[in-house]
């Protein structure tokens, strides 16, 4: 590991030279011979690993070495410390290990053993650093500050995340498929006090009905045919952290009662087991279904609904926040251009207008997928309207089928215009000024048309 820096703090100059000679081919070595210079060396060089003698000048006592160890743990807790000791210093060694030393070896020592201990320590350190880096990347990725949206609807979502994140309140996220419900759930988790624990996600609609209970609560060996070993469920894995249940409406009724008990008592048993397991889980659910309608049909328990519907967050579909579309297009162009050798692309005005007008039934997921496709299919720097899929450029254009009993053109146009205005008024909840904005006409024309068609 030539990129790893080792600090050697040892008062015996001859032993220092031996150690440096043995390790210099594999590591960068810096050295010091007493407590003061050792502390300065560690502060200046920021080594990955320190080989530390416990008996150091000026006093030559183990307190000097323990003092250096304490200083390292305070200033550089990521640093691995391996202490070196004589046969009579085992009590001091145990103190050093309790104070944060990774390991120790006795003098005189075997260099093969020393190298093995060092390699294992540095491999463990590399793995821990990688875990920290990945966690920071996840926190950044799912930070709501980096979620795209400046519309009033998304600002309300961001405000809700801020309010509920650092609490244990049960959250339900409601919105159409593709609106980013799991992204919001992750943002809540990574802004909470539970962020160091795992984010356990389960899509209830993707699990066969017969396996839902086992997946959520686990099972014991022999609980059913094919259960050849015990299985840890999601609630057990999420203990002390956050669990996200997407498509909560797909949970079968028999399992809903067990889920209700977990929320009420924080206890459950594995399938086929009788041992009660306690769990501390912060639950976030999501759905694109009408749970209230499912309750009326007897397909969803009303008492469970009240348990999960504590803090609802409603995610608006993309078509209701069109001002966010240019921001999202620009964001995904930048994100996915990094994976390509070619430079970044941009949309021209006509293409952007077409994309803003498109209804986006698949919401953000559909938009993201389209950007990835366009980056692969368009060679130039500018993405034009003609580069877009026909499903985008032909939206709203219908070719009528002519029959013998078709209406005359003028009457057919009037009928279509009447229904279009009626639909816009319904969408605007009866507010005609908003309906005019939807149709892209001024208020005076809207008044004229509503009078004309007696709407």
- The CATH code of the domain that includes 242 is 3.40.50.300
At residue 237, the pLDDT reads: 94
Whether 11 contacts 53, CB under 8 Å: yes
SS3 call for 295:
helix
Domain match, 131 and 235 both: no
Given pLDDT bands bounded at 50, 70 and 90, which one contains residue 87? low
Domain match, 159 and 288 both: yes
**Pairwise CA distance, residues 181 & 172, whole Å:** 9
Domain match, 43 and 59 both: yes
Query: The tokens of 51 are what?
Result: 């080989």
From residue 331, give the alpha-carbon distance in Å to each of 269, 310, 345: 45, 33, 11
Higher pLDDT, residue 441 or 170: 170
Residue 72 has pLDDT above 70, yes or no: yes
**Pairwise CA distance, residues 69 & 313, whole Å:** 49
Domain match, 192 and 271 both: yes
State how many domains the chain has: 4
Residue 418 has pLDDT above 90, yes or no: no
> In the listed set 85, 112, 136, which residue is the last one of a domain according to the structure?
136
**CATH code, domain with 11:** 3.40.50.2300
**Pairwise CA distance, residues 364 & 322, whole Å:** 11
Residue 125 has pLDDT above 80, yes or no: yes
At residue 380, the pLDDT reads: 86
The DSSP H or E segment spanning 351 is helix 349-357
Q: 141 in a domain, yes or no?
A: no
* DSSP character string of 28-93: EEEEESSHHHHHHHHHHH--SEEEEESSBTTTTBHHHHHHHHHHHHHH-TTSEEEEEE-GGGHHHH
> In the listed set 282, 314, 346, which residue is the last one of a domain according to the structure?
314
From residue 259, give the alpha-carbon distance in Å to each of 132, 166, 288: 33, 23, 20
Q: 402 in a domain, yes or no?
A: no
Residue 134 has pLDDT above 90, yes or no: no
At residue 362, the pLDDT reads: 93
Cα 54–Cα 39–Cα 70 angle in degrees, nearest 5: 60
**Spatial CB neighbours of 283, under 8 Å, sequence gap ≥ 6:** 170, 171, 242, 243, 245, 263, 308
Residue 175 has pLDDT above 90, yes or no: yes
Residue 41 has pLDDT above 80, yes or no: yes
Domain match, 171 and 310 both: yes
Domain match, 217 and 270 both: yes
pLDDT in tens, 298-337: 999 999 999 999 999 999 999 999 999 998 898 889 888 8
Domain match, 176 and 307 both: yes
Q: 413 in a domain, yes or no?
A: yes
Residue 399 has pLDDT above 50, yes or no: no
Q: 401 in a domain, yes or no?
A: no
**pLDDT (average), residues 142-149:** 65
Domain match, 76 and 175 both: no
Mean pLDDT value across the chain = 88
**CATH code, domain with 388:** 1.10.8.60
Given pLDDT bands bounded at 50, 70 and 90, which one contains residue 146? low
> In the listed set 136, 163, 196, which residue is the last one of a domain according to the structure?
136
Q: 239 in a domain, yes or no?
A: yes
Domain match, 307 and 160 both: yes
Q: 49 in a domain, yes or no?
A: yes
For residue 276, which phi and psi values (nearest 5 degrees)?
-80, 130
pLDDT in tens, 262-296: 999 999 999 999 899 999 999 999 999 999 999 99
Q: 254 in a domain, yes or no?
A: yes
Residue 397 has pLDDT above 50, yes or no: no
At residue 2, the pLDDT reads: 73
Q: 143 in a domain, yes or no?
A: no
Domain match, 103 and 200 both: no
Percent over 70 (pLDDT), the chain: 92
Residue 143 has pLDDT above 60, yes or no: no
Measure CA 324 to chain center: 21
**pLDDT (average), residues 232-244:** 95
**pLDDT (average), residues 19-36:** 92
For residue 251, which of 213, 283, 218, 194 has the smallest C-alpha distance? 213
Domain match, 330 and 275 both: no
Residue 219 has pLDDT above 50, yes or no: yes
This model's pTM is above 0.75: no
Q: Domain range spanning residue 223?
A: 150-314
Query: Residue 340 half-sphere exposure, CB side, CA atoms within 13 Å?
Result: 19
Domain match, 445 and 335 both: no
């Amino acid at each position: 590991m030539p990129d790893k820096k080792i600090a050697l703090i040892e008062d015996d100059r001859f032993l220092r030279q031996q150690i440096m000679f043995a390790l210099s081919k594999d590591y960068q070595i810096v050295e010091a011979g007493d407590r003061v210079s050792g502390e300065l060396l560690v502060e200046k060089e920021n080594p990955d690993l320190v080989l530390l003698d416990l008996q150091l000048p000026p006093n030559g006592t183990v307190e000097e070495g323990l003092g250096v160890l304490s200083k390292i743990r305070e200033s550089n807790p990521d640093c691995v410390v391996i202490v070196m000791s004589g046969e009579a210093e085992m009590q001091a060694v145990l103190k050093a290990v309790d104070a944060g030393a990774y390991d120790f070896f006795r003098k005189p020592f075997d260099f093969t053993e020393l190298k093995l201990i060092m390699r294992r320590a540095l491999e463990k350190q590399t793995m821990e650093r990688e875990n920290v880096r990945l966690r920071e990347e996840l926190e950044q990725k799912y930070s709501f500050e980096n979620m795209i949206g400046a519309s009033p609807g998304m600002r309300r979502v961001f405000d809700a995340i801020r309010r509920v994140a650092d609490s244990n309140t049960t959250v339900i996220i409601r919105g159409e498929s593709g609106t980013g419900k799991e992204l919001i759930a992750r943002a809540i988790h990574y802004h909470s006090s539970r962020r160091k624990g795992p984010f356990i996600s389960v899509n209830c609609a993707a699990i066969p009905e017969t396996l839902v209970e086992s997946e959520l609560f686990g099972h014991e060996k022999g609980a059913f045919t094919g259960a050849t070993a015990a299985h840890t469920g999601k609630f057990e894995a999420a203990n002390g952290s956050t669990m996200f249940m997407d498509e909560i409406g797909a949970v079968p009724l028999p399992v809903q009662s067990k889920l209700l008990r977990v929320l009420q008592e924080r206890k459950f048993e594995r399938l086929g087991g009788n041992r009660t397991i306690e769990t501390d889980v912060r639950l976030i659910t999501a759905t694109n279904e009408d749970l209230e309608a499912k309750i009326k049909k007897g397909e969803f328990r009303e008492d469970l609904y009240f348990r999960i519907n504590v803090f609802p967050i409603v995610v608006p579909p993309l078509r209701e926040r069109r001002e966010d579309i240019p921001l999202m297009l620009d964001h995904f162009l930048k994100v996915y251009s990094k994976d390509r050798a070619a430079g970044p692309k941009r949309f021209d005005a006509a293409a952007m207008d077409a994309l803003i007008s498109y209804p986006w039934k698949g919401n953000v997921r559909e938009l993201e997928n389209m950007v990835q496709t366009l980056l692969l299919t368009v060679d130039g720097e500018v993405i034009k309207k003609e580069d877009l899929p026909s499903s985008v450029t032909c939206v709203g254009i219908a070719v009528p089928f002519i029959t013998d009993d078709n209406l005359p053109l003028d009457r057919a146009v009037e009928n279509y215009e009447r229904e279009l205005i009626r639909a816009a008024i319904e969408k605007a909840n009866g507010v005609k000024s908003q309906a005019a904005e939807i149709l892209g006409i001024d208020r005076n024309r809207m008044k004229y048309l509503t009078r004309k068609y007696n709407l």
